[in-house]
Structure 1
Amino acid sequence: MTATFTGDVLMTPIATGETPSRVGVALVRFTPGARTHWHVHPMGQVLHVTDGTALVGTRDGAVVRARAGDTVVCSPGEEHWHGATADAFAAHLAIHESADTADGGTSPVTWLEPVSDEDYQRAQA
């Protein structure tokens, strides 16, 4: 487990926009049971599933089960997590844009706490 993921996750950067672009794209691969921590993107995020079945959960308890070819849009400021089901691998392209930060920099994401095992198990249903 790291500060941003539970389980084994491989993130491969695909593209980072050159100024003035602030877009970022990464291929994110999850082993069974792996998932991000809760997080929020100030400019939102688009997830395009390339392999397997991905889960995308939000704070209100809603869970989207997305399969290869499906696209999920996470609205700006929406706290969410995403990952693989408990019994299969999953992969998606993560597309986001950075926003200005208070210290004068930019960031595409604010990481929060891990998704509890209980919340993850409920998402399997």
Structure 2
Amino acid sequence: MASTKDARRPDLIVPYQEPAGKTDNPELSSTLSSTLPMAAIFMRNRYVGWAAVAFSLQSWLGESEETQKSASSPGYFAVGMSLMSLIVTYLPLFLPPSPGLQQGSSTEAPAPVPPA
């Protein structure tokens, strides 16, 4: 008797379709591999430079075909940028700043004048 009261119609059944994944899913590793080299250059911090190399290598070696298609730049570009930031942070060891340049601000008091 339960089947006589069933009001469902088999022709109106819609099969389940899994929704498509989001394409705007930013990955943390690719974000770190692109921003850490800039932070290393601005701060002249060698540890941040080495972290940038490690994250960019990890991001490059771990990218899939889908991320290669959707990425705006290839993975080896981030590796190149991180190596460049590492070179910039170690540059003062090989090309030290000239001693004639003073590391002061232009707002400090002038040097005292010796009495004549």
TM-score w.r.t. structure 1 length? 0.23
The structure where strand makes up a greater share of residues is 1
The structure where helix makes up a greater share of residues is 2
Q: Bigger relative contact order, structure 1 or 2, given CA contacts below 8 A and separation 6+?
A: 1
TM-score w.r.t. structure 2 length? 0.24
